[in-house]
Amino acid sequence: MKKTSGFTLIELAIVLVIIGLLLGGVLKGQELINSAKAKNIANDFKNTQILLYGYQDKYRALPGDDAAVAMHITNGTPAAAANRGNGRIDGHWNSVTPTDESYLFWQHVRLAGLATGSTQVGTDAYIPRNADGGRIGVQSLNGFNTIQDDENPMVGTFVVCSEGITGRLAKQIDVLLDDGLTNNGAVRVTTTPAAVGAAGNSLANAAVPDGGTFTVCMSF
């Protein structure tokens, strides 16, 4: 009679342990990747403040709003004359208009040697991106309507926003930079706007599922 061979209980146990270790390694690796992304995006928020204040300290003007930008930096493009030099960064943080101050902010800080990146306006390479590929931008809080919470307004002078961020990362970023409450404090989370300047409300943690896509904004 022909004998059939198979795995022993010990061999099966070893295989299961190996599978468990592999799965644990994959999950741990993904956790580390997410943590690194959250820290990277949080640093984007911090660095944008440094760029703004660094330019202001150097030229006594705001990047994007600088009325004398042509004198301060070579090839600097002045914003539209309507509000230029008024001490605000006008225009939406995600503006696509090359004459808006919020759009030209990035050219001015890059030409001033404070940041790296393309200075050629009107190109896709010019637009700054976060670690998830979403856009990042800054504007004055005056005129900001990406998040409209009349009963719990954001406070400060400026606001920086970054879009296309998963809910898991958005909540991590709030913990890193603020109070961990996505509808309170300096850091807020909202749905990614469908259009430039589109308005919305900040969302509570329960309304920010891990797999969803959101915009995170921080006032300062």
**Number of domains the chain is built from:** 1
Domain hosting residue 75, numbered range: 38-219
- Give residue 27's pLDDT band: very low, low, confident or very high (50, 70, 90): low
Q: Where are the alpha helices (DSSP H) in the chain?
A: 9-59, 69-72, 101-111, 167-177
Q: Is 8 domain-assigned?
A: no
53-85 confidence digits (pLDDT tens): 999 999 999 999 999 999 999 999 999 999 999
Per-residue pLDDT, 100: 98
Per-residue pLDDT, 9: 76
CATH number at residue 81: 3.30.1690
Check pLDDT > 60 for residue 28.
no
Q: Is 42 domain-assigned?
A: yes
**CA separation for the pair 134, 189 (Å, rounded):** 14
Write the CB contacts of 87 (distance below 8 Å, at least 6 apart in sequence).
62, 65
118-136 confidence digits (pLDDT tens): 999 999 999 999 998 999 9
Check pLDDT > 60 for residue 3.
no
**CA separation for the pair 69, 72 (Å, rounded):** 5
